[in-house]
Amino acid sequence: MFAIISVGNRQFKVTQDLEFLTEKTGKNAGETFDAKVLLFAENNKVHIGSPELKSAKVSLKVIEDVKGEKVHGYVYKKRKNYQKTWGHRQKLQKVKVVSLSAV
């Protein structure tokens, strides 16, 4: 049994008790929330939503807030005496699938 869900404008293929990283959802650690279910498959039966399934439910629990890898950038313009470095670190959340149900 698996489902394809949409969280933070990204799609994930999830199964029971799967942990994955996603963009910040606005929830605090320990809170649970429901994700949009786009596809649900169990026992060789596939249910596809257009665009989402109202009857299926996937509950997610926020485990912790983490930061992604640091991304470095460098801008250089020749003969103009211009150079600039920058860095960015994305804020992420570690999320665990609590339950999958087709209802």
Confidence check: pLDDT of 24 > 70:
yes
Using alpha carbons, select from 19, 55, 59 the residue that is nearest to residue 38.
55
> pLDDT over 90 for what percent of the chain?
92
The pLDDT of residue 70 is 97
With a CB cutoff of 8 Å and minimum separation 6, the contacts of 8 are 22, 23, 24, 25
pLDDT for position 40: 95
Q: In this predicted model, what pLDDT tens digit does every residue of 67-96 receive, in sequence order?
A: 999 999 999 999 999 999 999 999 999 999
Considering the entire predicted model, what is its pTM? Answer: 0.82
User: Would you give the end-to-end CA distance of the chain in angstroms?
Assistant: 14
In whole angstroms, what is the distance from residue 24 CA to residue 98 CA?
Answer: 18
